[in-house]
Structure 1
Amino acid sequence: MAKNKLNERGWEKLLSEIDKGNVVPILGNELLKIKINGQEQPFYEYIVKSLCEIIDIEYVPGLDFEQLTCQSCMLKWREIDSDPYYETYKLIKETDFDVSPSVSKLLDIDKFKLVLTTTFDNICTKSFEKKWGIGNFKRLSYEKRTNGQDIETLNQPILYHMFGKASNESHSYVLTEDDLLEFLHFWLNDNYKPKKISNILREKYLLIIGCNYPNWLFRFFLHSMKFSTQSTPKSKIGMIAESNMDSDLIAYLSRLDAQMYIPAEEFINELAERWVQYKIDNPDELLSEYKDVFISYASEDEHSASLVAETFRKLGVTVWFDKRALEPADEYLKVIKKNIEKSKAFVPILSKHVMTPERRFFKREWTWGIEQSEWINPSPYIFPITIDDINIQNELIPVKFSSLQKVDFFKSDFEDNVKKIIRSIRR
């Protein structure tokens, strides 16, 4: 089947609606990949293989949760006095999974403050923790036969498990198609559905990525999320990015004016690239999102700088941390300069990589940071952080930096010192 792609007009529409906050992502299991012994494999495949080992049956490609809950397999579960729901919950609880690169890349788009997932795992949670910091977002879950956990406000990021999250109670989350049908039945019932989230799903454009349901089930899923008795077939559908869509499903979605893109991960990669360019081309639309702390670093130090940024976020502080491989365009320079001026703290990351006479972009940020510190003097504004044994008294380091007390990233009291910085800027 030929690949479906967005045309330029479609991308322009999607990026504009994302920027307005009118798009809600719904993430499926295709985006969940983990590494086992250095080899990447789908997360659900790993769970199925592990369950096969528990009940001592041979795994064959294509085996899924449906087969593991068939009558013959359930006899094996009874023999060990367990069930696939409990064992799946144990696997997730006892294994420290990494973040999902695809989910993390999607979350780099700050406009996605509400993200729904059809999965039961904690991998999306890891990506949220990396992006927003522990304690700076809510993780909610729908519970059938209740009105679920509904949202109150969107004043902080929310990760919402549409079909339950893994627990030790059988059928409390979706493993099989039968489970999914039961959950969708409750989503359609006005007495049980989470009303605020349901209203948001009807009013916003949906960005459905990597769910990969069969044709008939996808239609039922979409109807449950999008339509009410007052809805029309032309309600906002938005964007569907899947790797497995047959021609009948494509024809159905086309009739609903839904945009389609195949495959899912390729879509996320292109979306991330286009969003960066969109921010460059539309700088004024970024100026309403000023951050508390501006982190300036040499591109070679991106990994260490990201860990510094994560520490600030974990402690409840917003951070401007601009990932870039190239020199910013002129319009985007204005955005960066404005965000330095609006920040409460300027944090230069100092390492041997900044010890260069070359003209580098971080030096321009240094100049803007020093200028801003002079405007707000005597309030503390610049807080240098070192990530190696650099000599900050070197002539290549501005006197403004070397005259200040530095914070060493690799010392045991680093987090305590970050807390001191936060207290200082909150006075």
Structure 2
Amino acid sequence: MSLNLDELFWEDLLAFIEEGKVIPVIGQGIVTFGPEDEPFYPWLAERLAEKLSIPQSELDQPPSLNRVATAFHLRGKDQPNLLYTRLFNILKKECPEPGPLLRSLAQIDAFKLFLSTAVDPLLENALNLERYGGEPCTEAVSYSEGLDRKDMPARMRDLNGALVYHLFGKASPQPEFVLWEADMLETVIDLHDQFKRTGTVDNLSRDLKAHGLLLLGLSFSDWLVRLFLRITQQEKLSLRVHPAYLADSPDKMLPSDMVMFFGAVTRSVHVVRCCPKEFTRELSRRWLLEHPRDASQPPAALKPIPQEMPKGAVFVSYAREDEDAVRRLIGGLQEAGCTVWYDRERLKPGAYWPSELEDEVKNRCGLFVSVVSRTTESSPEGYYHRERNWAAERYDGFSQGHAADEFYIPVVIDESPLATQNEPRVFARVQCTRLKNGAATDEFARHVFALQQKRQQHLAAS
């Protein structure tokens, strides 16, 4: 289909996305479920009304959560928390599968951070299905006034995988999320206050300021959109709307049927007057045309995460650009019986991840797998270089006779030369193994398992 948009707009937008300069802001308008992409929030509002015995005659059409909450409070109920508990239980027990729309958005793998104004888990579920073989690996951070930790665990460039930041909280049994307009007002006031402070939401604040925002499923006339732009600019908001990108559409089209792209570089706002669902489908289609997925090598489904990781695990150091291959490698090692410490699973919101990584490398891991690629060989910066230097420090403390290749295992996952350039000098003589796209051979996986068994026995005896 065609949205009659200027091709230069698509070219610019796709280029910004490819360079990691865009954060998608997801509103309720593009949250869908089922094979037919049915609107999720009208369904949720209707189910909540049924649970609260509110008749259809008291609802708007299509029904909204705000209207359900208003009708509930007008009845003078003395259990205000019942609203939140009932909605949470619906999502816990009846939550449907995300629709094709969210799944197509999840296929744009250049999107690492998603800012969501919705409170449901469908976006996370879509990301898990499309990127992680259905395993619950997508990280979610929920903003709430009652939470001590409100910020992202790291800047977007340092995230180890997909993260969804729920700006208005995520459904829970307590009123810790936005359900209706009264909640919205309090949350926006608190959010504005947090952005003015230092040290509360610094990672989020800096990323919003440094990146463009692609607003999908929010109303252009909504004051919340103006808030997003105000926070992003972090100065007095002066909208510079460029209507050159308006799509042909019926006169009856409502302001909510719009898409906005706020460019952090040009500091301008592009308004696309079209259905956000249609825009999202077209964006995903164009992205996949330029970045086709390798259907022959789907993301690996990793084993369940143990609550306590024993000493002697295999630590995998990698660049975030290589995550698909890394997951494939980890899956192969796990199939051979290896215990793998994978930062995407072990690092949790609120933890100080630099110290956790350093402790695992310097004190706890049994083997260190260094994933070598074009990215790690060409970039002089990257946290993986620090991890590999920690591994070198760790090896310096080993007793004589402990061979370097019994601890440090470099793996080349693409066409990069086996004669690596950026590995620590102490490991320069360790032979690299080429595992294209991270596909571990049986021989390699058995070798690593045998080394790990030997190392764990040594750690247990020491």
Give me the TM-score of the superposition, normalised by structure 1.
0.60
Contact 1:6 1:261 in 2 (8 A): no
State the match for 1:222 in structure 2.
Answer: 228
Contact 1:141 1:164 in 2 (8 A): yes
Question: Percent identity, aligned pairs only?
Answer: 19
Identify unmatched segments of 5+ residues in structure 2. Answer: 306-315, 317-322, 328-372, 376-414, 420-430, 454-462
Runs of 4+, deviation exceeding 6 Å: 247-251, 313-317, 375-380, 417-422, 424-427
Q: CA deviation at 1:136?
A: 4.2
State the match for 2:351 in structure 1.
Answer: none
Deviations 1:257-279 (A, max 9, x none): 32415111211221122223334
Deviations 1:365-418 (A, max 9, x none): xxxxxxx9xx999969599x9xxxxxxxxxxxxxxxxxx98xxxxxxxxxxx99
State the match for 1:246 in structure 2.
Answer: 255
Contact 2:20 2:111 in 1 (8 A): yes
Instruction: Find the partner of 2:168 among 157, 163, 177.
Output: 163
Instruction: Find the partner of 2:277 among 245, 265, 270.
Output: 265
Counterparts of 1:382 and 1:120 in 2: how far apart (Å)? 39
Contact 1:21 1:112 in 2 (8 A): yes
Deviations 1:45-97 (A, max 9, x none): 12111122122222253332222222x52365837785211111111112242
Counterparts of 1:184 and 1:116 in 2: how far apart (Å)? 15
Q: What residue identity is the alignment partner of 2:47?
A: S
Counterparts of 1:248 and 1:92 in 2: how far apart (Å)? 26
State the match for 2:13 in structure 1.
Answer: 14
State the match for 2:104 in structure 1.
Answer: 105
Counterparts of 2:103 and 2:447 in 1: how far apart (Å)? 27
Counterparts of 1:174 and 1:198 in 2: how far apart (Å)? 20
State the match for 1:285 in structure 2.
Answer: none
Counterparts of 1:165 and 1:122 in 2: how far apart (Å)? 8
Q: What residue identity is the alignment partner of 1:51?
A: L
Counterparts of 2:209 and 2:246 in 1: how far apart (Å)? 15
Closer/same/farther in 2, CA of residues 268 and 247 from structure 1, 3 Å limit: closer
Closer/same/farther in 2, CA of residues 158 and 28 from structure 1, 3 Å limit: same
State the match for 1:89 in structure 2.
Answer: 88
Counterparts of 1:151 and 1:381 in 2: how far apart (Å)? 31
Q: CA deviation at 1:132?
A: 3.6
Q: What residue identity is the alignment partner of 1:246?
A: P
Q: CA deviation at 1:422?
A: 8.8
Further displaced range: 83-92 or 133-142: 133-142
Closer/same/farther in 2, CA of residues 118 and 5 from structure 1, 3 Å limit: farther
SS of residue in 1 equivalent to 2:13:
helix
State the match for 1:328 in structure 2.
Answer: none
Deviations 1:223-278 (A, max 9, x none): 44433236654599xx999x964399999x99953241511121122112222333
Q: What residue identity is the alignment partner of 2:82?
A: D
Q: CA deviation at 1:17?
A: 0.7
Counterparts of 1:4 and 1:382 in 2: how far apart (Å)? 39
Counterparts of 2:448 and 2:9 in 1: how far apart (Å)? 42
Please tell me whether residue 174 in structure 1 is matched to residue 178 in structure 2.
yes
SS of residue in 2 equivalent to 1:126:
helix
Q: What residue identity is the alignment partner of 1:265?
A: K
Counterparts of 1:57 and 1:231 in 2: how far apart (Å)? 41
Counterparts of 2:149 and 2:122 in 1: how far apart (Å)? 25
Counterparts of 1:57 and 1:113 in 2: how far apart (Å)? 40
Q: CA deviation at 1:318?
A: 2.1
1:19-418 matches, cutoff 5 A: 19-35=18-34, 41-59=38-56, 60=59, 61-70=61-70, 73-74=72-73, 78=77, 83-133=82-132, 134=135, 136-144=137-145, 148-153=150-155, 154-156=158-160, 157-170=162-175, 172-189=176-193, 190-191=196-197, 194-212=201-219, 215-229=221-235, 233=239, 245-246=254-255, 256-279=268-291, 297=296, 306=298, 309-311=299-301, 318-319=324-325
Q: CA deviation at 1:117?
A: 0.8
Contact 1:208 1:240 in 2 (8 A): no
Q: What residue identity is the alignment partner of 2:287?
A: W
State the match for 1:410 in structure 2.
Answer: none
Q: CA deviation at 1:5?
A: 4.7
Counterparts of 1:68 and 1:247 in 2: how far apart (Å)? 20
Counterparts of 1:275 and 1:426 in 2: how far apart (Å)? 41
State the match for 2:347 in structure 1.
Answer: none
Closer/same/farther in 2, CA of residues 81 and 379 from structure 1, 3 Å limit: closer
Closer/same/farther in 2, CA of residues 150 and 279 from structure 1, 3 Å limit: closer
Counterparts of 1:143 and 1:378 in 2: how far apart (Å)? 47
Cα RMSD between the aligned structures? 5.0
Counterparts of 2:444 and 2:108 in 1: how far apart (Å)? 26
Closer/same/farther in 2, CA of residues 418 and 82 from structure 1, 3 Å limit: farther
Counterparts of 2:13 and 2:289 in 1: how far apart (Å)? 14
Give me the TM-score of the superposition, normalised by structure 2.
0.56
How many residues end up aligned between the 2 structures?
323
Closer/same/farther in 2, CA of residues 52 and 227 from structure 1, 3 Å limit: same
Counterparts of 1:226 and 1:53 in 2: how far apart (Å)? 39
Counterparts of 1:86 and 1:182 in 2: how far apart (Å)? 19
